[in-house]
Amino acid sequence: MARLSVEDLSFAYRDREVLRGITFSVAAGEVLGLVGPNGCGKTTLIRCIDGMLTPRSGRVLLQGQELRTMHRREVARAMAYVPQSVGNQTSSTVFETVLMGRRPYLNWTVSPADEEKVAEALDLLDLRDLALRKVSELSGGERQRVMIARALVQETGVVLLDEPTSNLDVCHQMGVMEVLRGLASERDLAVVIALHDLNLAAIYCHRLMVLSAGTVYGYGAPEEALTEEMLRTVYGIQAVVKRDLSAPYMVPVRPGHPAGEV
């Protein structure tokens, strides 16, 4: 049974249709990358899956149970969400913020086991030295890693991330994706990540789902989904897709230049 299933999901803001007929599933241990140009519906889809938005039709299932039948505490124990943007207004420390991810399990006290899980997450995301710093004092990339750590300590079977690497330098981008890919395998997580960087997605995602104007244009392994035709049709760019490494990668071609001049 898939950890996460989305069946024929559609969503509209009033009369403006944003998503139409989205169907896919994610198994334990799998990382699925959502890719597509700005405005294609990636963030809206993730918010529908998380329950922040109510689909017009279709359904979301967690371990076979329909999302809308579950209590919010049940959902929080089954699925974690990392938003695209992270505010900096909180006066909480990094440790306190990550500890909030344990809320679905806490009663009146924080146990040593809870604190240990927070410490492990801080180590995974290279945040231990920032543990006592206020989140409001951090850079955008550091705050993003704090929110990922908070999601990981929820110990859910499904993790949703909306552009988690957008504020990170290339070293931390790869570090975060290494952690997510590794944890998907080690903890049997189903991970769904919206990404703009197609090359990063091709390296770390088992499958890619290409969204275009609110529908699924392509779905499959990176070598199947990342094609020159897709880049022309969906992104409106000319690019060369290279296949001489372990994962395909695309090189954009400047307008007016032959494909060989990349």
For residue 191, tell me if it sits in a domain.
yes
Radius of gyration (C-alpha) of the chain in whole angstroms? 19
Cα(15)–Cα(29) distance, integer angstroms: 38
For residue 182, tell me if it sits in a domain.
yes
For residue 240, tell me if it sits in a domain.
no
Domains of the chain: total = 1
**DSSP helix/strand/coil, 167:** coil
Residue 96 structural domain: 4-226
For residue 41, tell me if it sits in a domain.
yes
pTM: 0.91
The pLDDT tens digits along the chain (262 residues) read: 689 999 999 999 988 999 999 999 999 999 999 999 999 999 999 999 999 999 999 999 999 999 999 998 899 999 999 988 766 556 799 999 999 999 888 877 888 998 999 999 999 999 999 999 999 899 888 888 999 999 999 999 999 999 998 888 999 899 999 999 999 999 999 999 999 999 999 999 999 999 999 999 999 999 999 999 999 999 999 999 999 999 999 999 977 565 555 4
CATH of the domain at 195: 3.40.50.300
Q: CA dihedral defined by 130, 132, 138, 142, rounded to 10 degrees? A: 40
For residue 65, tell me if it sits in a domain.
yes
For residue 236, tell me if it sits in a domain.
no
Tokens 């989205």 appear where? 22
For residue 51, tell me if it sits in a domain.
yes
For residue 251, tell me if it sits in a domain.
no
